[in-house]
Amino acid sequence: MATTTSVENSGLLAAVLPAFSRETGITVEVLAVGSGRALNLLKRGEVAVGLTHDPAAEAAALTGGVVTGYRKIMFNDFVIVGPAGDPAGIAHASDAVDAFARLAAGAATFVSRGDASGTYSREQELWALAKRRPAAPRLVDVGQGMGGALRVASEKGAYTLSDRATFERFRSSLRLSSLYEGGTALLNTYAVFVRPGLSRTDEAAASALTRWLADGAGRPLIAGYAVNGQTLFQVWPLGTPRESPADLPFRAEARVH
Q: Which is nearer to other proteins, 111 or 194 (CB)?
A: 111
Looking at the Cβ atoms of 19 and 31, the one nearer to other proteins is: 31
Nearer to other proteins, 136 or 254 (CB): 136
Nearest residue (CB) to other proteins, 97 versus 140: 140
Q: How far is the CB of 58 from other proteins (least distance, A)?
A: 15
The whole-angstrom separation of Cα 240 and Cα 130 is 30
Minimum gap (Å) between residue 157 Cβ and other proteins? 9
We find the least distance from the C-beta atom of residue 93 to other proteins, in angstroms, to be: 26
* Contact set with other proteins (CB under 8 A): 33-34, 36-37, 40, 114-116, 136, 140-144, 148, 151-152, 154-156, 173, 175
Q: How far is the CB of 8 from other proteins (least distance, A)?
A: 12
5 in Cβ contact with 147 (< 8 Å): yes
Q: What angle do CA 50, 230, 32 make, to 5 degrees?
A: 25
In whole angstroms, how close is the CB of 112 to other proteins at the nearest point? 9
Query: For other proteins, which is the closer residue by CB, 136 or 238?
Result: 136
Minimum separation from the CB atom of position 60 to other proteins (A)? 13
- Residue closer to other proteins by CB (options 20, 110) is 110
**Least distance in Å: CB of 45 to other proteins?**
15
Q: Pick left, alpha or beta for residue 83 (phi over 0 → left; psi -120 to 50 → alpha; otherwise beta).
A: beta
Question: Which CB atom, from 98 or from 141, has the smaller least distance to other proteins?
Answer: 141
SS (H, E, C) the chain: CEEEHHHHHHCHHHHHHHHHHHHHCCCCCCEEECHHHHHHHHHCCCCCEEEECCHHHHHHHHHCCCCEEEEEEEEEEEEEEECCCCCCCHHHCCCHHHHHHHHHHCCCCEEECCCCCHHHHHHHHHHHHHCCCCCHHHEEECCCCHHHHHHHHHHHCCEEEEEHHHHHHHHHHCCCEEEEECCHHHEEEEEEEECCCCCHHHHHHHHHHHHHHHCCCHHHHHHHCEECCEECCEECCCCCCCCCCCCCCCCCCCCCC
